[in-house]
Amino acid sequence: MFAPQNLITDAPFSKMDLVSCRNVLIYLEAEVQKKIINLLHFALNMGGFLFLGPSESIGRQVDLFEPVSKKWRIYRRIGATRLERIEIPIAPGPEVPAHAVRATEPAASRPPSFAELTHRLLIEQFAPTAVLINRKYEILYFVGDTGRYLEFPTGEPALDLTVMAREGLRTKLRGAVHKAVRDGQPVELTGLRVKRNGELDEIEVHVVPVQFPKAAEGLMLVTLSGRGKTLVAAGRGRTTVRGRCDAATRSRIARHEGGFAVHHRGDGKLQRGA
């Protein structure tokens, strides 16, 4: 059965096993190409195949398709449907009359509700640093002061969590995400030490698989929070600990530093000496 289909203006088909879209995307702008790839992902069944032209690709949307044959430009659909990415129609609609725009301006400038205001303040004041990632460790969204735990490498831009993680986090994060994907259960890491500006921050990490809504399955929320303890390498023969530190922590530091004595100073810091 054949039917005409306008990729830009018509609603997509669905529950398809194979879509051949060859030598079409190359004639479209990059933004339109991206939107069409989202529609084709929606149209295919899980594991369905997309066949593109020799000069076409899925671009950076590697969370939607995986290559089966790079030579022949054949891709397999992966990941859950992202309804928020689908736009129908893709082409811009007719211009809105000026009087209609003016009529909607008061609604657009309305003050936030108490619920919205409370939610925003809670996030700003108390929410931990967090990133939303997919199964390939790619960061999809940032929340909070991520610069404390992540850094942007030089060279080509990359949003790989394990590449951006600071020293002391990379291997642990990769293992935690792998375990969360395998078991489908949250994973907690404590007592991790992250090196930043010559200091070691003690932090906690939680990796939580996203199970609701269904369209977000396969994503994970990674939260990173400090524990208020900073170890400063202050030169050979001396280590200072900033922040609150109990007797057990002082003893652990002493053992870690090779058995040197740890003295409690009057200013609330610890100093190690022979």
**Per-residue model confidence (pLDDT) at position 39:** 87
Q: Is 114 helix (H, G, I), strand (E, B) or coil?
A: helix
Distance CA 37, CA 56 (A): 11
Distance CA 192, CA 172 (A): 8
Burial class (CB in 10 A: 0-12, 13-18, 19+), 230: middle
Distance CA 154, CA 220 (A): 26
**Per-residue model confidence (pLDDT) at position 263:** 44
Residues of the chain with pLDDT under 70: 1-3, 11, 82-84, 88-112, 154-158, 227-274
Query: For the segment 118-166, what is each residue's pLDDT rounded down to a tens digit?
Result: 877 887 778 888 999 998 888 888 887 788 888 877 666 668 898 889 8
**Per-residue model confidence (pLDDT) at position 241:** 47
The backbone torsions φ and ψ at residue 260, rounded to the nearest 5 degrees and listed phi first, read -70, 155
**Per-residue model confidence (pLDDT) at position 147:** 82
**Per-residue model confidence (pLDDT) at position 54:** 87
Q: Is 40 helix (H, G, I), strand (E, B) or coil?
A: helix
**Per-residue model confidence (pLDDT) at position 86:** 72
